[in-house]
Chain A
């Protein structure tokens, strides 16, 4: 029986940190993709945005975000490909944020609509959870995904990301 839900690749950041996490040469063998990140960066702030790239491009993205900070819910839209926050250097120690990106029909010829859920919880007054709608207005199949700290910082050691493929048959 074919494997429906399969780990394509996983990356665990080593002791030197990493400027990005990238998955390349993604085959069209599955129907949907699911990227799961447990991440933290070394930016000297509590949080840092994560920049998303498809096929090495961070253009032609649009996002609508619903954000909770522990006291209010807000929403904003952007064409910047900064998709979510993760904890950074001054956030509660040993705390990593979670992010999940679900991309249906990633190899199809329609524009790519996708879902992002993320949190950067920590023992702080203000932390954030995000529910995000994403659209990449390109018809090309997605063959590469890269995530990077937006401020040219590094993912710290023990940050992990796994890309799964999900097949509908």
Chain B
């Protein structure tokens, strides 16, 4: 029986690290799923993704989020990284997780989009809540690599030790 849902690669940080990359992603699957359980070295960190090392302003994203008191929606466009999640790590501990689905990642005809769910329900001042976001990479290239960054106001911060990143492939046949 063919494996439908298969781990491609996983990384657990033994020490703090500024970014995490998955390279050499084959076109063997139909969709990708990225699971992140992470913390940031900064008080508040935001997750971004860059595909195939493309640093052009080809990324946009729209989010719907709730912080425990109000619901908001935000958008970024013409960015040089994709907004993978409005928040990731807080207070130097691992209390945030996200699930990102990237459909039809290996076709060479359409732009690539993703949907992500981000969650941090920590009860402290920096608890930022729950979010659903969609993103777009305006490229028809097949995704063969991705790098995940933790950033706030244009400054990169480290993911803390113990953060885990796993990329799964889903095959439709």
A interface residue numbers (CB < 8 A to B): 1, 4-5, 31-32, 62-67, 73-77, 79, 102, 104-105, 110-111, 113-115, 117, 131-135, 137, 166-169
Contacts and interface: CB of A to CB of B under 8 A. Distances in A.
Contacts, number: 132
B15 to A, nearest CB: 16
A165 to B, nearest CB: 11
Contacts of A104: 35, 37, 97, 164
A31 B167 CA distance: 12
Nearest to A63: B121
Nearest to B6: A4
Contacts of B129: 64, 66, 75, 77, 133
12 contacts: A1-B3, A64-B119, A64-B121, A64-B128, A66-B131, A75-B71, A115-B117, A131-B117, A133-B118, A133-B119, A137-B123, A168-B35
Interface residues of B, number: 40
A65 B96 CA distance: 15
Interface of B: 3-7, 10, 35, 37, 64-71, 93-99, 117-123, 127-132, 162, 164, 166, 168
A135 B66 CA distance: 15
Contact of A132 (B7, B130, B166): B130
A111 B39 CA distance: 12
B67 A75 contact: yes
Contacts of B120: 64, 113, 133, 135
Contacts of B64: 66, 73, 131
B69 A75 contact: yes
B123 A79 contact: yes
A74 B71 CA distance: 5
Contacts of B65: 66, 75
A4 B5 contact: yes
A110 B6 CA distance: 25
Contact of A76 (B37, B68, B118): B68
- Which has the most chain B C-beta neighbours within 10 Å: A31, A105, A133, A134? A133
